[in-house]
Amino acid sequence: MPVVHKSAIKRARQSIKRQQRNRAILHGTKTVVKKVKAAVAEKNSELAQSLLREATSAFAKAATKGALHRKTASRKISRLTISVNSTTPKS
């Protein structure tokens, strides 16, 4: 039987915890993005604006937690903002 170090066992435990935490964070961001895209598809600009605020917050939080790279989060926020701004009526 191979010798397994205590540190290797601990690292495995830590990686499982981190994976679960990151999955939960990313799942939350995907859910909010789906809601924003649905609001944009329905041409509901007020709902899309409020959901965009939630999505921006979720992406920023994911970036600070390390689940997403900060530039990836920024890119996704930018693209969502462009799509939401396309639904708002120009005055």
Residues 32-76 have pLDDT tens digits of 999 999 999 999 999 999 999 999 999 999 999 999 999 999 999
How far is it, in rounded angstroms, from Cα 10 to Cα 30?
30
pLDDT for residue 1: 66
Q: The pTM is what?
A: 0.84
How far is it, in rounded angstroms, from Cα 47 to Cα 86?
14
Q: What is the pLDDT of residues 10-38, one digit of tens each?
A: 999 999 999 999 999 999 999 999 999 99
Amino acid letter, 53: R
Domains, the chain: 10-85 (1.20.58.110)
